[in-house]
Amino acid sequence: MRYYGLIGHPLSHSFSKAYFEDKFRNEDLDCFFVNFDIEKLDSIKDIIIQYPDLQGFTTTHPYKKAIFQYLNYVDSNAKEIGAVNVVKIDADKKLHGYNTDYIGFQGLLEEALDGKNIEKAYVCGTGGASEAVKFVLKKKIIEFGILSRKDNSYQQIKNNGFKNNELIINATPVGMYPNSDGLLDLPYETANSTNIFIDLIYNPEETMFMKEAKKYGASAYNGLKMLKLQAEAAWRIWSL
Say whether 94 is catalytic. Answer: no
| 32: Cβ contacts below 8 Å, ≥ 6 apart | 1, 2, 3, 4, 21, 24
Q: What is the CA radius of gyration of the chain?
A: 18
Distance CA 75, CA 38 (A): 25
Active-site pick, 23, 40, 45, 64 = 64
Return the exposure string of 20-42: e unless at least 16 CB atoms fall within 10 Å of the residue's CB, then b. beeebeeeeeebbbbebebeebe
* Other Cβ atoms closer than 10 A to 55: 16
Residue type, 98: Y
Strands 196-199 and 2-8: unpaired
Enumerate the active-site residues.
64
